[in-house]
C-alpha cells in the first residue's frame, strides 16, 4: 500500500490517540486541565492477589491504565509496553512478539504471563505469544509489570518479570463501547463490549474483537478473533467472579533475513525456496474458564478459591528448519486450583497463606511434510519425528507476610516451595532412529524454594525508598527434554535459578511530578547449556551462569495545564560468567555480553491538550531510543542505535464519539527489531515502516 506524504501532514488535523502522563478522563468527558500526578491512588493486584497501594510495595512495578490503552489503541501490546523503562518487546509479526525485561530478548520462559492473576499457560509448553491468547486487546482493564523475580504467589517462569493483564470488571449500570479502525497494509479492527447489572446483586460484561492485517512483509498476514464474558454475583459476605475467554489466531510465517537481503529487500519473507508458503502458518486456539470465589468470614479473615480450566491447541511450521520444515502440533489441557487465605491481624499486619495446584496433559507431535531428505549426513524421513504425551503435576504451598514497623517502615517477606513432576510417555520407538533420539518413558521431578524479602521506608509524605531480595526459577519445557536429535542421549535437568537484589525510589511531588528509579543486580545459575559432550552422547546440562545489571527511571511531569511529559529510560549490561559446566568455554564467550540485549532504552512522550480546542484535542509525540546490542555472544558484531518516532492525536466529539489516528515510525526509519547470530550468520527481522491508522469509537 502506498504511503503518501500527506498522511503525515494531515495527521495533526485528525482526531487521534495520545498518551498522557497520568490517567485520562472517560471518553465522553472533556478535561479542563491535566490531572494531578500522584502514586497514592495507584493500586496493584499481582503482588499479593488483592489491591494494595503501589507506594508501599517494595519492588519495581509499572502500570498501564485502561485510559492509556484507549488513547494508544494498539494492535499489539508492545506499542504500550515499550514505553515503560527497561522494557522492550521485539515484534515478530502482527501481535506476536518476544520480551526483554532486564534480560536479553528471548522466546524462552523468562516472563510469567497472567490474565486477572491466573497463568495464561503452563511452563510445560511455554510460548512468548501469550498476548495472542489474552483478552488485552478486547477488554483492557490495565497491565501490571512486576520487574525481577515474582513474589511468593508466582511460580516457574517468574524469572525476569511478571506481566498481569487485567480485563474490565462488570458494571452495575449500562455501559458499552464500539470501535472501528483501519489503516496501512490492510489493517482493520472491530471491537465492542457491553456491561450491565441485573437482579440487584449480579452484573455481566460481554466483549468481542476481530483484528487483521495483510502484513507489510511478504507472508506476514494474520487475523485474530476474541470473545470474553465476565459475570459477577455478590452478597454481603461472598463474591463470585466468573470469566470465559476464547481466542482464535491464524498467521502466516516469515523468516529472518541475511544482512544483504535486510538492506536490499526488507519486504522479503526470508523463506527458503523449498518451504511451502501456503502451509507456512501459525495457528493458536485458546479457551479458559475460571471462577473466583471470595468469602469473608470476619473482618480480618477472607478466603479466595479459584478453580480454572484451560485448553490450548497450537500448530506451527518450523520454518527455521528449511530443508524439512516439520509441523509441530501441541494440545494442552489443564485443570488448576488457586486457594488463598488472607488474614488481617491488624491494620499493621497481613498474611497470605496459599496453595497452587495444576494438572496439565500435553500431547505433542512433530511431522515432516516434505519428502525424505538427507541433511549433513542425517536422514529426515517423511512422517512423524516425535509423538509423545507428558502429564505435568504441580503443587506449590506459599506464605507471604506484610508487617508495618513503626510509622514509616513496611516489611514484606515471602516463601514458596514448588514441587513439579513430568510423566513422559513416548508413543514412537525409543532410542536413536534416523536423525532423532527419543528417550524412553520416564519421570522428571523439579523442586525449588523461593524466598523473598522487601523493605519500604516512607521517609517523607509522597516519597519512599525500598530494598528487595528475591529468588526465582524456571523449569525446562517438555520440548527441551524429549525432542532430541541422534547425536544426543537422555538427560535430566534442574530448574534454572536467579537471585535478584534491588534498590528503588518512588515519589509524587507537588501533584505535578512523579518519579520512580531503581538499580538492580541479578545473578542466574544452573542455566541450561546445550551441546555438552559426554561419553554417552551430547546432552543439555545445568551450568550456565550470568549476571545482569541496570538502572531504570521514569519521570512524569505536568508542565502546564496544556502540556505534560513522560520520560522512561534504562541503562543495562549483562555478562556471561560461565557458558558451560565447570567453566568450559568452547565458544569463547565467558566474560562477554550476551546477544540481543539493548544497552540503552528510552522513551520520551510529549502530550499537548490545547485550550483553544476546549481540551477536546490531544496530540502526543513520542520518540523511542532503541540502543545498540551485540548480534553474537562473541561480541564481534553490533547493531546501530535507532530513534523511532510516533505521532498520535485524539479528538473527543460530543455525545460520546471520539476520532483517533496515529502514524508509527513517523520518519520511516529502516531498523531491525531483532538481530542475532546463532551459528549460521547474522539474521535480521526488520521493524515496521511508516504505518498510519485511523478509527472512530463510541462509548456510553
Over 90: is that where the pLDDT of 35 sits? no
Determine the number of helices (DSSP H) and then strands (DSSP E) in the chain: 6, 38
Over 70: is that where the pLDDT of 22 sits? no
The distance between the two most distant Cα atoms of the chain, rounded to a whole number of Å, is: 78
Model pLDDT for residues 149-166, shown as the tens digit of each residue: 999 999 999 999 999 999
* Calpha distance 271→283 (Å, rounded): 18
CB-based contact 648:12 (threshold 8 Å): no
> 322 falls in which pLDDT band (50, 70, 90)?
confident
Question: If DSSP codes are grouped into helix, strand and coil, which group holds residue 167?
Answer: coil
Q: Note whether residue 446 is domain-resident.
A: yes
Burial call 464-481: b when 16+ CB within 10 Å, e when fewer: bbbebbbbbbbbbbbbeb
Over 80: is that where the pLDDT of 593 sits? yes
Three cell numbers written together for 568: 522512561
* Calpha distance 612→642 (Å, rounded): 35
CATH number of the domain within which 637 lies: 2.40.170.20
* Calpha distance 542→532 (Å, rounded): 10
Q: Note whether residue 37 is domain-resident.
A: no
- The residue ranges of DSSP E strands in 559-678, in sequence order, are 563-578, 600-608, 617-626, 642-652, 657-664, 672-677
Three cell numbers written together for 282: 501459525
pLDDT value of residue 290: 98
pLDDT value of residue 583: 85
Which domain, by its residues, includes 303? 6-32+51-699
> 19 falls in which pLDDT band (50, 70, 90)?
very low
Over 60: is that where the pLDDT of 381 sits? yes
Three-state SS annotation for 371-415: CCEEECCEEECCEEEEEEEEEEEEEEEEEEEEEEECCCEEEEEEE
- What percent of the chain shows pLDDT beyond 70? 94
Over 70: is that where the pLDDT of 578 sits? yes
* Calpha distance 698→275 (Å, rounded): 45
pLDDT value of residue 53: 84
- What percent of the chain shows pLDDT beyond 90? 78
Model pLDDT for residues 599-655, shown as the tens digit of each residue: 999 999 999 999 888 889 999 999 999 999 999 999 999 999 999 999 999 999 999
Model pLDDT for residues 176-226, shown as the tens digit of each residue: 999 999 999 999 999 999 999 999 999 999 999 999 999 999 999 999 999
pLDDT value of residue 286: 97
Q: Note whether residue 622 is domain-resident.
A: yes
> 41 falls in which pLDDT band (50, 70, 90)?
low
Question: If DSSP codes are grouped into helix, strand and coil, which group holds residue 7?
Answer: helix
Task: State how far Cα 352 lies from the chain centre.
Answer: 26
Total count of domains within the chain? 1
Question: If DSSP codes are grouped into helix, strand and coil, which group holds residue 468?
Answer: strand
Average pLDDT of the residues of the chain:
91
Over 50: is that where the pLDDT of 26 sits? no
Over 50: is that where the pLDDT of 9 sits? no
Over 80: is that where the pLDDT of 585 sits? yes
Instruction: State the average pLDDT over residues 405-411.
Output: 93
**Which pTM was predicted?**
0.92
pLDDT value of residue 539: 87
Model pLDDT for residues 500-531, shown as the tens digit of each residue: 999 999 998 877 899 999 999 999 999 988 88
Q: Note whether residue 42 is domain-resident.
A: no
Three cell numbers written together for 350: 497481613
Model pLDDT for residues 58-74, shown as the tens digit of each residue: 999 999 988 888 788 88
Instruction: State the average pLDDT over residues 128-144.
Output: 91
* Calpha distance 251→242 (Å, rounded): 30
pLDDT value of residue 10: 34
pLDDT value of residue 603: 97
Q: Note whether residue 38 is domain-resident.
A: no
Model pLDDT for residues 531-568, shown as the tens digit of each residue: 888 887 888 899 999 999 999 999 999 999 999 999 99
Q: Note whether residue 45 is domain-resident.
A: no
Model pLDDT for residues 640-653, shown as the tens digit of each residue: 999 999 999 999 99
Model pLDDT for residues 88-134, shown as the tens digit of each residue: 999 998 899 999 999 999 989 999 999 999 999 999 999 988 889 99
> 29 falls in which pLDDT band (50, 70, 90)?
very low
Question: If DSSP codes are grouped into helix, strand and coil, which group holds residue 130?
Answer: helix
Instruction: State the average pLDDT over residues 415-443.
Output: 95
Q: Note whether residue 1 is domain-resident.
A: no
Model pLDDT for residues 492-505, shown as the tens digit of each residue: 999 999 999 999 99
Using CA atoms, how far residue 169 sits from 49, 116, 202, 415, in Å, is 16, 10, 12, 31
Q: Note whether residue 521 is domain-resident.
A: yes
Amino acid at each position: 500500500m502506498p504511503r503518501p506524504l500527506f498522511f503525515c501532514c494531515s495527521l495533526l488535523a485528525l482526531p487521534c490517540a495520545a498518551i498522557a502522563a497520568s490517567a485520562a478522563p472517560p471518553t465522553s468527558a472533556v478535561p479542563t486541565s491535566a490531572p494531578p500526578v500522584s502514586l497514592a491512588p495507584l493500586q496493584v493486584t499481582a503482588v499479593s492477589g488483592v489491591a494494595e497501594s503501589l507506594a508501599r510495595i517494595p519492588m519495581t512495578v509499572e502500570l498501564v491504565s485502561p485510559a492509556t490503552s484507549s488513547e494508544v489503541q494498539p494492535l499489539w501490546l508492545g506499542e504500550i509496553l515499550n514505553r515503560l523503562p527497561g522494557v522492550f518487546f521485539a515484534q515478530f509479526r502482527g501481535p506476536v512478539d518476544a520480551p526483554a525485561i532486564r534480560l536479553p530478548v528471548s522466546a524462552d520462559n523468562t516472563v510469567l504471563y497472567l490474565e486477572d492473576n491466573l497463568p495464561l499457560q503452563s511452563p510445560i509448553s511455554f510460548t512468548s505469544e501469550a498476548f495472542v491468547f489474552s483478552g488485552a486487546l478486547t477488554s483492557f482493564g490495565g497491565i501490571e509489570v512486576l520487574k525481577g523475580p515474582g513474589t511468593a504467589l508466582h511460580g516457574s517462569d517468574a524469572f525476569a518479570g511478571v506481566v498481569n493483564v487485567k480485563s474490565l470488571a462488570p458494571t452495575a449500570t449500562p455501559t458499552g463501547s464500539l470501535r472501528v479502525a483501519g489503516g496501512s497494509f490492510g489493517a482493520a479492527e472491530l471491537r465492542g463490549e457491553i456491561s450491565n447489572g441485573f437482579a440487584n446483586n449480579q452484573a455481566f460484561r460481554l466483549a468481542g474483537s476481530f483484528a487483521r492485517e495483510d502484513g507489510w512483509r511478504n507472508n506476514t498476514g494474520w487475523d485474530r478473533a476474541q470473545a470474553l464474558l465476565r459475570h459477577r454475583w455478590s452478597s454481603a459476605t461472598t463474591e463470585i467472579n466468573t470469566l470465559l475467554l476464547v481466542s482464535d489466531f491464524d498467521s502466516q510465517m516469515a523468516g529472518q533475513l541475511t544482512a544483504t537481503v535486510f538492506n536490499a529487500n526488507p519486504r522479503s519473507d526470508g523463506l527458503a525456496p523449498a518451504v511451502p508458503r501456503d502451509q507456512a502458518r501459525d495457528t493458536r486456539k485458546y479457551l479458559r474458564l475460571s471462577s473466583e470465589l471470595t468469602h469473608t468470614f470476619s473482618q480480618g479473615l477472607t478466603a479466595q478459591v479459584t478453580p480454572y480450566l484451560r485448553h490450548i491447541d497450537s500448530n506451527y511450521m518450523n520454518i527455521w528448519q528449511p530443508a524439512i520444515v516439520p509441523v509441530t502440533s501441541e494440545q494442552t489441557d489443564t485443570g488448576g486450583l488457586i486457594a488463598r487465605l488472607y488474614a488481617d491481624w491488624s491494620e499493621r499486619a497481613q498474611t497470605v497463606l496459599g496453595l497452587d495446584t495444576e494438572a496439565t496433559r500435553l500431547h505433542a507431535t512433530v511431522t515432516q511434510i516434505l519428502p525424505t531428505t538427507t541433511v549433513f549426513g542425517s536422514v529426515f524421513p517423511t512422517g512423524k519425528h516425535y509423538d509423545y504425551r507428558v502429564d505435568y503435576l504441580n503443587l506449590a504451598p506459599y506464605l507471604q507476610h506484610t508487617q508495618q514497623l513503626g510509622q514509616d517502615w513496611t516489611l514484606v517477606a515471602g516463601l514458596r516451595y514448588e514441587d513439579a513432576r513430568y510423566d513422559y510417555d513416548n508413543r514412537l520407538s525409543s532410542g536413536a532412529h534416523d536423525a532423532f533420539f527419543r528417550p524412553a518413558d520416564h519421570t522428571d521431578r523439579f523442586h525449588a524454594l523461593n524466598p523473598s524479602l522487601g523493605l519500604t521506608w516512607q521517609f517523607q509524605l509522597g516519597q519512599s525508598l525500598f530494598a528487595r531480595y528475591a529468588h526465582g526459577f524456571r523449569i525446562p519445557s517438555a520440548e527441551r527434554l524429549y525432542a532430541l536429535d541422534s547425536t544426543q542421549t537422555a538427560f535430566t535437568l534442574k530448574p534454572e535459578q536467579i537471585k535478584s537484589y534491588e534498590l528503588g525510589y518512588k515519589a509524587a511531588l507537588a501533584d505535578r511530578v512523579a518519579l520512580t528509579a531503581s538499580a538492580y543486580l541479578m545473578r542466574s545459575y544452573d542455566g541450561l547449556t546445550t551441546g555438552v559432550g559426554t561419553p554417552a552422547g551430547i546432552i543439555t546440562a545445568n551450568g550456565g551462569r550470568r549476571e545482569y545489571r541496570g538502572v531504570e527511571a521514569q519521570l512524569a511531569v505536568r508542565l502546564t495545564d496544556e502540556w505534560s511529559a513522560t520520560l522512561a529510560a534504562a541503562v543495562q549490561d549483562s555478562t556471561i560468567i560461565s557458558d558451560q559446566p565447570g567453566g568450559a568455554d568452547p565458544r569463547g564467550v565467558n566474560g562477554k555480553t550476551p546477544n540481543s540485549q539493548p544497552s540503552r532504552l528510552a522513551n520520551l512522550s510529549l502530550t499537548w491538550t490545547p485550550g483553544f480546542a476546549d481540551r477536546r484535542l490531544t496530540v502526543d509525540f513520542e520518540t523511542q531510543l532503541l540502543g545498540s546490542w551485540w548480534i553474537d555472544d562473541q561480541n564481534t558484531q553490533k547493531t546501530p542505535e535507532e530513534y523511532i518516532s510516533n505521532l498520535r492525536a485524539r479528538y473527543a466529539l460530543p455525545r460520546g464519539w471520539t476520532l483517533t489516528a496515529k502514524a508509527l515510525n513517523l520518519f520511516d526509519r529502516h531498523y531491525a527489531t531483532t538481530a542475532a547470530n546463532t551459528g549460521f550468520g547474522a539474521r535480521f527481522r526488520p521493524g515496521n515502516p511508516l504505518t498510519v491508522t485511523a478509527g472512530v469509537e463510541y462509548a456510553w
